[in-house]
Amino acid sequence: MSEHNEKWERDVITKLAESSFREQRRARRWGIFFKLLTFAYLTTILVLYTDPQITQTAKLAEKHTALVNLNGLIADGEKASADNIVTALRDAFEDEKTAGVILRINSPGGTPVQAGYIYDEIKRLKKEHEDIPMYAVITDICASGGYYVASAADKIYADKASIVGSIGVRMDNFGFVDAMKKLGVERRTLTAGENKALLDPFLPVNPEARQHLQTLLTTIHQQFIQAVKDGRGERLNTSVDGLFSGLIWSGEQGLELGLVDELGSASYVAREVIGEENIVEYAVTEDLLERLAGKVGATMASVLHNRLLMPLLQ
């Protein structure tokens, strides 16, 4: 009888302990859930009150200088892609409160197609909105495709130490023919079209294909040069040797060459040239939900995994 009572007592105590453990775990999960809910709510409020687009709403109601930033490589899929920059420029020009537009550039260049697209659109927007001046302001560097774009502006401003120029075109490739021979590796390439493999780095250079590519680069280079000449006009000092050779200069040297009109920053141009110190930035951005998901999603996923899912597997 005693053994039976002891077993019964142990079973009761065990069940009570298990029940208590389950209640504690359930309470902990609900506690974490409400903490996450509170965190998400506070984060949403924070994003709403710190969102740059929302904080600029009041500025948009006033006369202002529109600012579009072109940073980095000008290429499809990049932040400075033609689609992004052109969309921002259109919004800036079409705003009836815009007194002038500044395109602030910090770019080493990019593809001729993307740069040409932006250049052509600037020309179109300037013609469509003749009462809105448009200026390019160079920060650290404005080379190659970056300068291609800048040359479409009414005027170009830069810092005395900015890097400008590089009016040229390049195509990079490597040759591994000798290395293949030393390694004893045989290259087997099948093509339909005798020039289909003209850029194959494992094959010897074909003189005819090389000349074809050089002609292609020269044609694009001439398009680049013509765009700069059309944009800069008589301000260019075309008598300078190497102006279109791909060389780069400082902003101060650019003044002498006609690549730059004046030295000055974006705030200087807004205040002293356009006459509207109030600057509003125009850019293609993700909507609020996407930004919120990007800022909160990773944290939420990590917490959910570590605090909610893991205990269920224990």
pLDDT at 44 over 50: yes
Question: Of 178-192, 203-217, 218-232, which range is least confident?
Answer: 178-192
- 249-305 tens-digit pLDDT: 999 999 999 999 999 999 999 999 999 999 999 988 755 454 455 444 544 444 444
- 3-state DSSP percent of the chain in helix, strand and coil, to 5: 55, 15, 30
Report the 10 Å Cβ neighbour count for 157.
24
Are 296 and 40 in contact by the 8 Å Cβ rule? The answer is yes
State the pLDDT at residue 23.
64
CA gap 168, 146 in Å, rounded: 12
From 254, 82, 67, 80, select the one nearest 151 (Cα to Cα).
Answer: 254
State the pLDDT at residue 252.
95
From 225, 232, 245, 220, select the one nearest 112 (Cα to Cα).
Answer: 220
Q: What sign does the CA torsion over 184, 185, 189, 195 have?
A: negative
Are 74 and 145 in contact by the 8 Å Cβ rule? The answer is yes
CA gap 48, 240 in Å, rounded: 53
pLDDT at 63 over 70: yes
20 tagged catalytic: no
Does domain 62-283 correspond to CATH entry 3.90.226.10? yes
Residue type, 121: E
The runs of H, that is alpha helices, within the chain are 2-50, 52-55, 57-60, 82-94, 112-128, 145-150, 177-183, 207-232, 251-257, 266-268, 288-303, 310-313
CA gap 145, 54 in Å, rounded: 33
Between 181 and 225, name the one with better pLDDT. Answer: 225
214 falls in which pLDDT band (50, 70, 90)? confident
State the pLDDT at residue 269.
96
- 94-131 tens-digit pLDDT: 999 999 999 999 999 999 999 999 999 999 999 999 99
The whole-model pTM stands at 0.71
pLDDT at 90 over 90: yes
Are 107 and 143 in contact by the 8 Å Cβ rule? The answer is yes
Sort strands 134-143 and 155-158 into parallel, antiparallel or unpaired.
parallel
CA gap 248, 164 in Å, rounded: 6
pLDDT at 309 over 50: no
Work out the mean pLDDT of the chain and round it to a whole number: 79
CA gap 240, 237 in Å, rounded: 6
144 falls in which pLDDT band (50, 70, 90)? very high
pLDDT at 135 over 50: yes
CA gap 226, 149 in Å, rounded: 13
Are 169 and 220 in contact by the 8 Å Cβ rule? The answer is yes
226 falls in which pLDDT band (50, 70, 90)? very high
Q: From its phi and psi, is residue 276 left (phi > 0), alpha (psi between -120 and 50) or beta?
A: beta
Question: Catalytic: which of 81, 144, 151, 162?
Answer: 144
196 tagged catalytic: yes
Q: Encoding tokens for residue 177?
A: 């023919």
pLDDT at 6 over 80: no
Q: Among all chains, which residue has been given the structure tokens 């650019």?
A: 254
- 8-24 tens-digit pLDDT: 666 656 665 566 656 66
Would you call 156 exposed, middle or buried from its count of C-beta atoms within 10 A (0-12, 13-18, 19+)?
A: buried
Question: Catalytic: which of 7, 15, 160, 196?
Answer: 196
Q: What is the mean pLDDT of residues 137-146?
A: 96
